[in-house]
Amino acid sequence: MLSSDDRKRAAARLMTAAANRKQAEQLSKTWPGIDFDDAYAIQSEVIRQRVAAGRKVIGHKIGLTSKAMQRSSGIDEPDYGVLLDDMLFADGAKIKAADFCVPRVEVELCFVLKAPLKGPGVGLIDVLRATEYVVPSLELIDARLLDPRKIYDTISDNGAASGIVLGGRPVGPNDVDLRWVGCALYKNGEVEETGLASGVMGHPAMGIAWLANKVGPHGITLEPGHMMLAGSFTRPIWVAAGDTVQADFGALGNVAVQFV
């Protein structure tokens, strides 16, 4: 367990790394005793500072939702981060690669809520009832800390959240079987990854339920209008200036961005 001062120093390191677009030393290396409570407290302090500077919370992301990713990180549950308004990009946007330390892209389904969700006790059906629509998305992820990172570094770094791009065709949560939504992820016209949304805990809505139950006991409610990234069902791909990324969600349409 870290002291309050050490948590603030860790948050300051992350803020500086993000501002300079330059990776900093791992928190787990500087503070070997860091734990999950520390990591989420550091994440919260970074978000608090960014909101105080004028940013607005627009939702959350859930990460490490597959068993393979959990095993590789040495954990047995997902993690989460917070989405802010300056992370939202339009479909087809031109994004500066230099605004990131080491940009990568994943494909996800985004659930937009029409009703609040607060745990404990939230299940799949509760999430579907509270969802206004589901829309294809790309998540832009980044790492403000150097490799090799531990899970505490990733959580402190807001779950690597850096951007969200919505596109394609929004659908009602019960209009399609969300488990069988598939996607082919292209970079510069070539398929890099493919996957099915059932790779997210069996059903992508389960990621949202997990988050509601995780943060509910701490007095946090998932709010109407918020965007909830349910978790990636492909591996992330590396991108750089000059790359065009397109995700083909079949009947749900396409979403794309260009890095410049």
pLDDT band at residue 74 under the 50/70/90 scheme: low
Average of pLDDT values for 53-79? 78
Euclidean distance between the first and the last CA atom of the chain, given in angstroms as a whole number: 41
How far from chain centre, in Å, is Cα 58? Answer: 12
For 39, list phi and psi in degrees, rounded to 5: -60, -45
By CB atoms closer than 10 A (0-12, 13-18, 19+), residue 106 is buried
| Count of other CB atoms within 10 angstroms of residue 79 | 26
The better pLDDT of the pair 76, 3 is held by 3
Report pLDDT for 77. 77
Distance CA(247)–CA(39), nearest Å, equals 32
pLDDT tens string 87-140 = 999 999 999 999 999 999 999 999 999 999 999 999 999 999 999 999 999 999
Going along the chain from its start, the domains and CATH numbers come out as 56-259 (3.90.850.10)
Report pLDDT for 71. 61
pTM: 0.95
Distance CA(14)–CA(120), nearest Å, equals 31
By CB atoms closer than 10 A (0-12, 13-18, 19+), residue 22 is exposed
pLDDT at 75 over 70: no
Average pLDDT, rounded, for the chain: 95
Report pLDDT for 197. 95
Report pLDDT for 223. 97
The helix or strand, by DSSP H or E, that contains position 164, with its residue range, turns out to be: strand 161-166
Distance CA(207)–CA(78), nearest Å, equals 8
Report pLDDT for 67. 61
pLDDT at 70 over 60: no
Distance CA(254)–CA(137), nearest Å, equals 9
The better pLDDT of the pair 198, 73 is held by 198
pLDDT tens string 191-238 = 999 999 999 999 999 999 999 999 998 889 999 999 999 999 999 999
pLDDT tens string 177-190 = 999 999 999 999 99
Report pLDDT for 14. 98
> Residue 7 half-sphere exposure, CB side, CA atoms within 13 Å?
19
Report pLDDT for 36. 93
Kindly state the percentage of the chain with pLDDT values over 70: 96
By CB atoms closer than 10 A (0-12, 13-18, 19+), residue 180 is exposed
Distance CA(185)–CA(246), nearest Å, equals 6
Q: Indicate the residue type of 199.
A: G
The two tokens of residue 215 are 């943060």
Report pLDDT for 26. 98
The two tokens of residue 122 are 């939230």
pLDDT at 159 over 60: yes
pLDDT band at residue 63 under the 50/70/90 scheme: confident
Average of pLDDT values for 63-76? 63
Distance CA(106)–CA(6), nearest Å, equals 32
The two tokens of residue 166 are 């919505």
